[in-house]
Amino acid sequence: MEVYFQLVTDPDRLKEACESLSGEEYLGFDTETTELDPYEGVLRLVQLSNGKNTLVIDLKPFAEKGDLRTIPELEPLRQILEAEKPVKIAHNAKFDAKWVGHHLGADVGGTFDTMLASQLIAAGDQDRRHSLAEVVSFFLGMELDKSEQVSDWNAESLSDSQIEYAAKDAAIMVPLREKLSEKLKEDGLEAAARIEFDCVTPIARMELNGFYIDRDCWRAQLDKVKAEQEEIAAELQGLLSAGVAQASLFGAAEINLDSQAQVADALKNLGVPIPDSTRAWQLQPLAKDYPVVAKLLEYRSVAKSLTSFGENILEFVNPETGRIHADFRQIGAPTGRFSCSKPNLQQIPHGPEYRKCFRAEKGHKLIVADYSQIELRILAEFSGDERFIQAFRSGEDFHASAAAQVFGVTPSEVTPDQRTFAKRLNFGVVYGIGAQRLALITGFKDREAENILRRYFATYRGLDEWLRSAARRAVEERSARTASGRMARFRFDESERSQVASTQRNGKNMPIQGTSADILKRALALLHGSLKGTSGRLVNIVHDEIVVEAAEAEAGSTAKILTEAMVMAARDFVRNVPIEVDVSIADDWAKS
DNA sequence: GTGAAGGGCCAC
DNA sequence: AAACGTGGCCCTTCAC
């Protein structure tokens, strides 16, 4: 590919060059940086390309004039980046959006992300890779040389090879988008793609914002757990070594409490009839007869807290901002759900002792909003089941009214046990639960569980029908879709019962879980728009929950904005079932 | 030493 | 034995 590019180093040329491209529908967009973290490195180049002409803008000379975020010389660049048109095509646009967000103070407007497009098209195929080189090779059949990617972008003057590499990466975006757009259309993925693209900038902003954690609070909590752990470990050690004491005259051998093998051995020696594994749910029934088992479960829980949610979390606190800037993967799961790492802010224990350490900074509040039973409402919408929908419309406690309907009693007659049972059943149904599993989690006999499931589906005939047809479609079409059209493909061997069964469960679950993800993403895009010009900053998301930090004086209005965005987003896909959002304003995350 | 696999458990 | 979905992170174990 022949690339024509011009290196831009002065304001006059920048203005003129930006004007020459501002009428385009689409522009390839890329950046070159000295680090991966925008808080640590320098933004050296910004490249924009219409496929024929490519601007390689060197920011080094501009940086000498002052703060890149405020110098007027860069206004033409900021404008073109922030505009909805031209749409900026980038690979993993979140990365570039974060850099220009932090260093130029520009929120990227219209976006087309070739990585997300490729992921949507792959529809969960784990074998496909989504690096730029792989995507270009797969869709354009071209080989891309990425050797300059890690070159020195700090150098006083960049080499021709570096500049040409930079230009090429932006230029290639244009034909790549054309190809991907065709494919998105062909696969019915345009609406899903729009949802994905529109939340790139909100997520980039969220990562830049970070989530404030009170380190002292966290350490205090840690010390408590540490002391607790030492005590429990000693007790468990004593109980377990009773079984191996004979092994040594010098006292009991130390058992590594974190080794399943050693612990299982010790338990056997004590005569505990352990099942095939020492998993919590298998050990739970033994806990009341064997104190050592109860102690082991206690130890595991504390150990988990200490290792996964201990000092290590604090290592992620950015020294500059004092906040945690986790890494969110937009299409983290084939269902469309986010995943999060470094650290995973989506798995912080729900207990207030942990969550109270995640706080708003001085003079600010956290606004925490979550959808109430969004997945069940989506299931209600999909199935169109009148009774199920009615249970939501009544506005009463959903699990209680479900219990009343299933057990044939009036809502006031529902016992706490019946409610708990209905709740488990409701959640289980979303995952495609079977009678055996239901029996296991409720303590019912298999036969009883079967009867209850039958009664449940006799009560909600529409639900039953939808779930059955979703399962059937998943096997026949080897795929499933969410309300936005997002797709997951299933690979399985139809002669393997367990694989077919697994596909059926996936067929039931993916549209529900994935539509929930569609809704959350739509909400993020709406929210980003309505928070502009306010103090509100997105700081975390957890599947059906959004956390915003805002100035105290604006907490109330931010709560309204947040609720509105979430309800509006859900209405795009759920029209016949009421949507409820629980919102709270607090100093920390422990509420709810 | 490093890396993968498997068991285990946290979140929704 | 027989699995209710999606992730990430920690640990031990074992192979290189």
Domain A215-311 class?
Answer: mainly alpha
Confidence of residue A177 (pLDDT cuts 50, 70, 90): very high
Residues 6+ apart with CB under 8 A from A270: A239, A240, A242, A243, A290, A292
Burial annotation A239-251 (CB, 10 A radius, 16+ → b, else e):
bbbebbeeeeeee
| Average pLDDT value over all residues in chain A | 90
Q: Which nucleotides of C are covered by protein (CB under 7 A)?
A: 1-13
Confidence of residue A263 (pLDDT cuts 50, 70, 90): confident
CB of A300 nearer than 7 A to strand B = yes
Q: Domain ranges in chain A?
A: 5-187, 215-311, 325-374+517-586, 376-510
So what's the pLDDT on residue A229?
83
Task: Write out pLDDT tens, residues A514-539.
Answer: 999 999 999 999 999 999 999 999 99
Instruction: Name the least confident of A208-217, A435-444, A466-475.
Output: A435-444
- Out of A237-251, A334-348, A370-384, pick the least confident: A237-251
**Rounded Cα–Cα distance for residues A43 and A298 (Å):** 49
Top mean pLDDT of A32-36, A155-159, A478-482 is at A478-482
**Percent of chain A beyond pLDDT 90?**
65
Nucleic strand C within 7 A of Cβ A341: yes
Q: Assess contact for A381 and A573: CB atoms under 8 A.
A: yes
pLDDT number for residue A365 = 97
Domain A325-374+517-586 fold: Alpha-Beta Plaits (3.30.70)
- This prediction has a pTM of 0.93
Q: Label residue A399 left, alpha or beta by phi (over 0 means left) and psi (-120 to 50 means alpha).
A: alpha
* Cα–Cα dist A466/A321, whole Å: 49
Residues with Cβ within 8 Å of A52's Cβ and at least 6 positions away in sequence, in order, are: A4
- Reported as a single tens digit per residue, the pLDDT across A47-99 is 999 999 999 999 999 999 999 999 999 999 999 999 999 999 999 999 999 99
The separation, in Å, between residue A509 CA and nucleotide C6 C1' comes to 10
Q: Which fold has domain A5-187?
A: Nucleotidyltransferase; domain 5 (3.30.420)
> Cβ of A276: how many Cβ atoms within 10 Å?
7
Q: Which of A79-88, A210-219, A287-296, A404-413 has the lowest mean pLDDT?
A: A287-296
Fold agreement (A5-187, A215-311): no
DSSP class of residue A252 equals: P
Tell me what pLDDT residue A250 has: 47
Q: What fold characterizes domain A376-510? A: DNA polymerase; domain 1 (1.10.150)
Comparing every residue's Cα with the C1' atom of nucleotide C3, the nearest one is: A437
State which residue has its Cα closest to the C1' atom of C6. Answer: A333
| A140: CB within 7 A of chain C nucleic strand | no
Place of tokens 């795009």: A572
> Is residue A328's pLDDT more than 90?
yes
Secondary structure in 3-state letters for A405-428:
HHHCCCHHHCCHHHHHHHHHHHHH
pLDDT given at position A248: 47
Mark residue A511 as left, alpha or beta (left: phi above 0; alpha: psi -120 to 50; beta: remaining).
alpha
Average pLDDT score over residue span A374-387 = 95
Task: Quick: pLDDT tens for A266-302.
Answer: 888 888 877 666 677 777 777 778 888 888 888 888 8
Q: How confident is the model at residue A223 (pLDDT cuts 50, 70, 90)?
A: confident
Tell which wins on pLDDT, A313 or A24: A24
**ω into residue A343 within 30 of 0, thus cis?**
yes
Residue predicted with more confidence, A19 or A160: A19
Residue A196: per-residue pLDDT: 96
Q: Which of residues 465-504 of A touch strand C (CB under 7 A)?
A: 497-498, 501-502
Please report which confidence band the pLDDT of residue A592 belongs to, taking 50, 70 and 90 as the band edges.
Answer: low
Model pLDDT for residues A420-452, shown as the tens digit of each residue: 889 989 989 998 888 888 887 787 888 888 888
Tell me what pLDDT residue A249 has. Answer: 43
Q: From the alpha carbon of A544, which nucleotide's C1' atom is closest?
A: B12
